[in-house]
Amino acid sequence: MKIFYSDTHLGHAPEFEVFDGGVRVPNFEVPERATRILAALKQTDWADVHAPADFGLDPIRAVHEKGYLNFLASAWTEWLAARPESDSAADKSALLPATFPPAGWRHRPEGLLGRAGYYMMDLSAPIVAGTYKAALASANCALSAAEAVSKGERAAFALCRPPGHHAGKANCGGYCYLNNAAIAANWLSSKGRVAVLDIDYHAGNGTQDIFYERADVLSISIHADPDFEYPHFSGYADERGAGAGLGFHHNFPLPAGTGDAAYFATLEIALGHIREFEPGYLVVSAGMDIYADDPLGKIKVTTKGIGEIGKRIASPGLPTTIIFEGGYNNDALARNVLALLEAFK
């Protein structure tokens, strides 16, 4: 199986994020997540690791708004320039806003911190020196995997970091800056119908935002119920698409404690929608935070269960681009990723 990975992700290493209640904690989305998976893949006899190609900005601009991309590209240098009086490294360690627009207040300010609040959904996506380059490389990994599948590979894996499925048309959030799965799916959509299946613990709100009014891309997300879990304001079962996209989006919110059997039952319903849609390509947002011992999750799927999920997703035989998303138990992460991928090798 072709695997696409870039060391550029190492430059994105925020020291902290801000948790519920305003608690500043060490960032859970660390470089070790990707490097551990890469090391495990290199120990197999089936992983063929490649650096991604550079697809330029056009496939990214096709998904994300221009103003948002300009903000991501310039935010760090603007942040440093805005604080020349500070000698403290802590004062410059990351850009995070303190003010966000409530519903209906959507005037875009010109000042940096105003734009940060406008384009950032929460306090878990700090911008640091290497963020933009890492996000671009991550998107190129996804595009390279999609290209490999379009040229005849049965499946390809994009070892993306930072992840992407919380990034909407014009926002970052939840560790995500560019929506790798949506960028890959949109690129593939010029070649045929595409289904996106998100199995991350958290709702794929960014992917939903991007494809919500489209009928050529079916988007499905299986996730913890947003009534009790991030992202809270998106991912409900009654969100089914709009306009031309009405009926082409499906959310499957799950209760805390969902185990293997209940997850499989929901997955079968989702796969039924995919079969009915008859796509030419499948894109999977593969989050391993559904694992029973993930520190950020309350769903209780086992490693064996993740392997079975992989088998069931592979069963329709669709050309499949697998995009790495969440998963924060670093001791189990590589084992879980390999359990999923082995169904496609």
Catalytic residue among 166, 223, 249, 250: 166
Q: Print the SS3 string covering 3-66.
A: EECCHHHHHCCCCEEECCCCCEEECCCCCHHHHHHHHHHHCCCCCEEECCCCCCCHHHHCCCCH
For this structure, is 166 an active site residue?
yes
Distance set, CA 58 to CA 62, 183, 210 (Å): 6, 10, 16
Taking Cα atoms as reference points, which of 337, 336, 334, 340 lies closest to residue 40?
A: 334
Peptide bond into 253 cis (omega under 30): no
Taking Cα atoms as reference points, which of 336, 9, 5, 36 lies closest to residue 200?
A: 336
Name the helix (H) or strand (E) containing 307. Answer: helix 303-314
Question: Using CB atoms within 10 A of its CB, is residue 289 exposed (0-12), middle (13-18) or buried (19+)?
Answer: buried
The DSSP secondary structure of 161-193, one letter per residue, reads SS--TT-BTTBBBTTBSS-HHHHHHHHHTTTS-
- Please list the active-site residues: 166
